[in-house]
Amino acid sequence: MSPLKFTDQRSKEALENLLGDYTTGHALPRDFYTSDAVYEIDIKQYWNKSWIWVGHISQLAQIGDYMVFEYGPESVIIVRDKQDRILAFQNICRHRGSRICLKKSGSARVFSCPYHAWTYELNGKLRAAREMGSNFNPENYHLLGVHLRVFEGLIFICSAENPPAIELGLSKLQPLVAPFQLAKMKIAHSKVYPVPANWKLALENYMECYHCAPAHTEYSRSHSLKDPAILTEDLRNVLKVKSQQVGIPTLELQINRLTDEMSDMDFYYSRYPLYPGYLTGSKTGAAVAPLLGRLGDYDGGTTDIQIGVLNNFLAYSDHVIGYRFVPVAQQETRLEVVWMVHENAELGRDYTLKDLTWLWDVTSKDDERIIRLNQKGVNSHHYLPGPLSQMEWGIRAFHEVYFSQIKSSLLSG
């Protein structure tokens, strides 16, 4: 896709001035969270040019199974075709642009546009188009393809013509996540928490634990990350020994695209201890599902995993949480939480949704409230961006990557 073009010099200068208003190490200026023009740039320059986690292969188990992922005005079909390949296409008819798939997921033999019945094979090729004349060449009107990458069962898409290089980071991450056998999971539950706020506020909230102690009472009972003073080297060393005993890597991976010439993306892997008495992220500390993959036992820890800034996961010994903060409109975001368990785990026998989802349901409800209040404050014309704390280093990293991509719109506009 071509970069956003500025219609006049004035709009280009407005963005330059806005970028100039940003002070490193501070929250963003108001317009980054409130401007429709900035939101359009966010979708075109950031989301369309990033790898986005859209699901798990277990959702596309049979030929013809498909799902639709949407962000902003964009909609992408992900499908398992007749050659047993997982492919992705823009959900846009090549005739006059209608949406083709109207359901979030399903099974299909072909894709048929509900407007004029143009019909496409599962591999995106145009199969039939009525009354188009003798000069019409169907080979020129296949569905627009979207880049797709499956990593350990996790499906990622990117709509850019030249997507960011992802292979180096995945190759370094793969041995760290291998014991969890993520491909041998299934989605036990998913839930959307609508948030009336800009997507950046929602993402920034996840990128720091400065707010965890005052805002997340339940989370703070079990997760040591909420207090750097408690997360001592001794506590980490105790976890390290246990993790090695049960087969969980304790090496930390941190790749920053702005400092690593070989990577176009940020990657992060770090295991940290839960408080004593907690085997996993649950209300009581007790296990909530069967152990994942090749793990021999519980080590009392959890792992933060990041594959690009937009895709965040939390891996306990018995389940994995996937988090997405998907823009719907300028001040409307889908906070999506996905709970994944071992593929052989049976609901009612091996886990209950109440126990499995309790922690991150109450935590996400907290997040909806604090992000909503954050947006209300930022909307004020009296808002002034304040300095970030040492615990908000993740937001600093996000801002660096975000600005590097947004500035490219000035160079090409």
Domain ranges of the chain: 1-50+166-413, 52-149
Q: What is d(CA 196, CA 133) in angstroms, rounded to the nearest whole number?
A: 48
Cα distance between residue 409 and residue 288, in whole Å: 47
* pLDDT for residue 260: 67
Q: Helix, strand, or coil here: 129?
A: coil
pLDDT tens digits, residue range 66-95?
999 999 999 999 999 999 999 999 999 999
Per-residue pLDDT for 16 more than 60? yes
pLDDT at 404: 87
For residues 144-152, average pLDDT: 98
Beta-strand relationship, 154-158 and 52-56: antiparallel
pLDDT tens figures, 224-238:
877 777 667 777 888
* The pLDDT value given to residue 4: 43
Sort 365 into a burial class: Cβ within 10 Å, 0-12 / 13-18 / 19+: exposed
User: Would you say 332 and 34 are in contact if contact means Cβ atoms under 8 Å apart?
Assistant: no
Asked whether the predicted pLDDT for residue 7 surpasses 60, the reply is no
Residue, of 261 and 314, whose pLDDT is higher: 314
**Closest listed residue to residue 364, CA positions, set 321, 305, 308, 306:** 321
Q: Which of 282, 321, 292 is nearest to 305 (CA)?
A: 321
Q: What percent of the chain has pLDDT over 90?
A: 83
| Average pLDDT of every residue of the chain | 93
- Determine the Cα angle at 133 with ends 127 and 139, to 5°: 35
Pick the CATH number of 1-50+166-413 from 3.90.380.10, 3.40.50.11900, 1.10.8.60, 3.10.20.30: 3.90.380.10
pLDDT digits (tens, 9 = 90+) for 17-38: 888 889 999 999 999 999 999 9
Inter-residue contact 91 to 219 (CB < 8 Å): no
Of 328, 326, 321, 329, nearest to 310 (Cα)? 326
CB–CB of 78/69 below 8 Å?
yes
Mean predicted confidence (pLDDT) in 328-353? 98
* % pLDDT > 70, the chain: 94
Q: In this structure, are residues 320 and 342 in contact, taking their beta carbons and an 8 Å threshold?
A: no
Residue 371 pLDDT greater than 60, yes or no = yes
Query: Whole-model pTM?
Result: 0.94
Quote the CA–CA distance of 325 and 312 in Å, as a whole number. Answer: 10
Pairwise CA distance, residues 280 & 273, whole Å: 10
Domain 52-149 has CATH 2.102.10.10: yes
Q: Are 299 and 239 in contact (CB under 8 A)?
A: yes
